[in-house]
Amino acid sequence: MRGIKTKSKIRWRRAAIFVALFIIFIILLNSVNRVYKKKKEVEKALTQMQSEMVALEDRNEFLKNSLEKLKTKEGVEFEIRKKLNVAEVGESVAIIVEGEEVPNTPKLEVSTWQKIKDFFGGLFE
Classify residue 79: in a domain, yes or no: yes
pLDDT in tens, 7-57: 777 888 999 999 999 999 999 999 999 999 999 999 999 999 999 999 999
- Split into its structural domains, the chain has a count of 1
Alpha-carbon gap, residue 85 to 67, rounded angstroms? 21
- Kind and range of the H or E element at 111? none
pLDDT in tens, 45-96: 999 999 999 999 999 999 999 999 999 998 888 888 888 877 788 887 777 7
pTM: 0.46
Write down the pLDDT at residue 110: 77
Classify residue 57: in a domain, yes or no: yes
Classify residue 71: in a domain, yes or no: yes
Residue 69 near residue 75 (C-beta atoms within 8 A): yes
Cα separation values, 14 from 20, 22, 54, 98, Å? 10, 12, 59, 87
Classify residue 66: in a domain, yes or no: yes
pLDDT confidence band for 1 (50 / 70 / 90):
very low
Classify residue 14: in a domain, yes or no: yes
Classify residue 121: in a domain, yes or no: no
Alpha-carbon gap, residue 75 to 69, rounded angstroms? 5
Classify residue 117: in a domain, yes or no: no
Classify residue 113: in a domain, yes or no: no
DSSP state of 64: H
* Domain with 11 in it: 2-91
